[in-house]
Homo-oligomer: A and B are copies of this chain.
Amino acid sequence: MQYRVAAIGGDGIGPEIVAAGRDVLDAAGERYGFDIDWTEFDIGAERYLAAGELLTEEDIQDLSKFPAIYFGAIGDERVRPGILEKGILLAIRFHFDQYINLRPIRLLEGVQTPLANKRPEDIDFVVVRENTEDFYVGIGSRFAGGREQKTLEVLREMYSIRFGLDVETDAEEVAYQIGVITREGAGRVIRYAFDLAMQRRKKVTSVDKANVLSDVYGLWRDVFSEVAAGYPGVSTEFNFVDAVTMWFLKNPEWFDVVVTPNMFGDIITDLGAMIQGGLGLAPGGNINPSGTSMFEPIHGSAPKYRGQDVANPFATVWAGSMLLDHIGEHEAAAAVLRAIERSILEGFVTRDMGGEKKTSEVGRHLAALVRTV
Q: Interface residues, chain A, CB within 8 Å of chain B?
A: 81-82, 85-86, 90, 113-117, 135-136, 138, 140-142, 155, 158-185, 209-220, 241-243, 245-246, 249-250, 263-264, 266-271, 273-275, 278-279
| A165 contact from B163, B241, B242, Cβ within 8 A | B163
In chain B, what residue has the closest Cβ to A141? B215
Complex partner residue of A172 from B136, B176, B182, CB under 8 angstroms: B182
Q: Once the chains are docked, how many angstroms separate the CA of A266 from the CA of B160?
A: 33
Q: How many copies does the complex hold?
A: 2
Nearest Cβ on chain B to A37's Cβ, whole angstroms: 33
Least distance between A343 CB and chain B CB atoms (Å): 23
Min Cβ gap A15→B in Å is 21
B245 contacts A271, C-beta separation under 8 Å: yes
29 pairs, A vs B, C-beta closer than 8 Å:
A81-B211, A82-B214, A85-B211, A114-B116, A115-B116, A140-B216, A142-B218, A158-B171, A159-B170, A161-B171, A164-B164, A164-B165, A165-B165, A169-B182, A171-B184, A171-B185, A172-B182, A176-B180, A177-B217, A178-B179, A209-B263, A213-B263, A242-B269, A245-B268, A245-B270, A246-B271, A246-B274, A246-B278, A271-B271
- How distant is A89 from chain B, measured CB to nearest CB, in Å? 10
Taking a contact as CB atoms under 8 Å apart, the answer to whether B175 and A216 are in contact is yes
Task: Determine the residue in chain B with the shortest Cβ distance to A139.
Answer: B215
Cα–Cα, bound, A210→B135 (Å): 12
Residue of B nearest to A274 (CB): B246
Dominant secondary structure at the A interface: mixed
B82 touches A210 (CB 8 A): yes
B245 & A215 in contact (Cβ 8 Å cutoff): no
Q: How far is the CA of A163 from the CA of B166 in the complex (A)?
A: 6
- Asked if residues B212 and A136 are in contact (CB atoms below 8 Å), the reply is yes
**Nearest B-chain residue to A300, judged by Cβ:** B243
Query: Which residues of B are found within 8 Å of A245, using beta-carbon distances?
Result: 245, 267-268, 270-271, 274
Residues of B within 8 A of A141 (CB): 215
By a CB distance below 8 angstroms, the chain B residues around A159 are 169-171, 174
C-alpha spacing A185/B171, complex, angstroms: 9
Least Cβ distance of A221 to chain B in Å? 9
Q: Give min CB distance, A100 to chain B, whole Å.
A: 18
User: Which residues of chain B come closer than 8 Å to A164, judged between CB atoms?
Assistant: 164-168
Min CB distance A179 to B, Å, is 5
Q: Given that A140-B213, A211-B85 are known contacts, is A175 also in contact with B180, CB under 8 Å in the complex?
A: yes
C-alpha gap A90/B364 in the complex (Å): 56
CA A158 – CA B172 in complex, angstroms? Answer: 11
